[in-house]
Amino acid sequence: MRWTTSHLQDLLVRLAEAYPDAHCALAHGDPFQLVVATILSAQCTDVRVNLVTPALFAKYPTPAKLAQAKILELETLIHSTGFFRNKARNLIGLGQALLERHSGTVPSDPQSLSALPGVGQKTANVVLSNAFGISALAVDTHIFRVARRLELSAGNTPGKVEADLCRLFPRDTWIALHHQLIWHGRRVCDARKPRCEECPLRDLCPTGTGRIEDPHSGKRMRKTRTVFPGA
Ligand code: SF4
């Protein structure tokens, strides 16, 4: 589907109206805590991470403390977030790298952030946008699914979807759009059972109107006519 500028604008307005309070769901008090929480959120829900981080942040409040953590104690604390061995190694490496390369502070440029242990492009973008207010559009599993269902992107990797979204939408919309698409994916555009009947984007959505197969499930929704307002 070819999205026109006015339809993209319409999409932004509808998302903003549907999710005016959309925000980062990972509890954090500073950039360091956000990096740690985002590393823990890989393959884990934000709710689960938020149950774990209060005790974690109390025990390791600074990169210096985290750098000196005993791996078994750290693994025990973060066990319930899954992949705990790998995450524990990355967290200790994160503390050490922040101390050695950045004087114990979290850098605010994409290259330095992405070079930290356990921090890929998605985590770097989450930290840039939420901790520093720098325009970035991290693509998580929800955004990946929603963007493909809306045919905003046919990319088969998060990086390709991110590039498409950044090309389609103005830079100053990226931070809000990131949160709104995640909330939409969690609340309406569910992975297994998207609630198309109540979706505020349905008439704009080629998947919800049954015009294309759901790129996520391969199934086709019940067909309705796609109506672009003003088209
Ligand atoms: S119409 Fe359905 S598939 Fe399309 S965005 Fe809404 S919930 Fe998702």
Check: CB of residue 205 under 8 Å from CB of residue 189: no
Residue 118 structure tokens: 């356990």
Q: pLDDT tens digits for 113-142?
A: 999 999 999 999 999 999 999 999 999 999
> Average model confidence (pLDDT) for the chain?
95
Q: Is residue 178 lining ligand 1, measured as CB closer than 6 Å?
A: no
Task: Of 93, 126, 94, give the one whose Cα is nearest residue 108.
Answer: 126
Domains and CATH numbers, the chain: 5-21+138-204 (1.10.1670.10), 31-132 (1.10.340.30)
Nearest ligand 1 atom to the CA of 194 is 7
Q: Is the pTM of this model over 0.85?
A: yes
Q: pLDDT tens digits for 46-90?
A: 999 999 999 999 999 999 999 999 999 999 999 999 999 999 999
Instruction: Indicate the top mutation candidate among 145, 152, 182, 196 to test ligand 1's pocket, ranked by most ligand atoms within 8 A of CB.
Output: 196
Please tell me the predicted confidence (pLDDT) of residue 225: 62
| Mean pLDDT, range 87-114, rounded to an integer | 97
